[in-house]
Amino acid sequence: MSALHWFAIRVTYSRELAFKSFLDEAHIENFIPMRYVYAERNGQRMRRLVPAVHNLVFVRASREQMDELDKRNIGYEVCPGVSSFCGAASALNLEYTLPNVSQSVIITRMAGRTPVPDKESIRSFAAHKATMVVFLSTGLLEELSKELIAGGQVQVNGEVCIMRGKKIRPGDKVTLAGNTVSVVEG
């Protein structure tokens, strides 16, 4: 089986929850950003959990798994350019830019098996003190912290960090650039 990749998939007619159920049964990792909506019914305030972005499902699958969906005539459309970090912000009801804090977002990753040019290192990006979204780096937290600090990013703003990795699970506490942050489901 080939490597797993995240896909932003559009389904039609608000079938994202049905598509999620199918993916869960097939043991294909997926994520739908959800939010609560409030309505009044019969004089009572009701709270309901609904998709934050209609018709959008994030799926982590191999090319072979996606081909299997095609063979079964399961309709979907891959949305190029929609990243999982957008779904994460939506799910947590967070913004990446805030007045007087940061108006820029840097999306990057640590150098690992695939090198990163020096001009795009964590250290050089940290010097901007912009909001950073760092992918593919849960196995490199100590090095990530050192690079953030070396670049001048001595504070990790916020208390939430979304991570996926073999050794990191929701509820864990991790230290980034000297700051302890909570890991939430992402």
Comma-separated ranges of CATH 3.30.70.940 domains in the chain: 5-92
Mean pLDDT of 95-115: 85
More confident residue, 22 or 80: 22
pLDDT average, residue stretch 152-171: 55
Residue 148: what pLDDT?
A: 81
Give which of 57, 65, 52, 77 is closest to 16, Cα–Cα.
57
pLDDT digits (tens, 9 = 90+) for 41-65: 899 999 988 888 888 888 888 888 8
36 forms bridges with which residues in the sheet?
49
How far is Cα 126 from Cα 171, in angstroms, rounded to an integer? 26
Q: Kindly write down the DSSP assignment for every residue of 35-47, as one continuous string.
A: EEEEEEETTEEEE
Residue 165 vs residue 93, higher pLDDT: 93
In the chain, helix, strand, coil percent, each to 5? 25, 30, 40
Higher pLDDT, 137 or 22: 22
Architecture of domain 5-92: 2-Layer Sandwich (3.30)
Higher pLDDT: 16 or 181? It is 16
pLDDT of residue 166: 46
Residues 6+ apart with CB under 8 A from 98: none
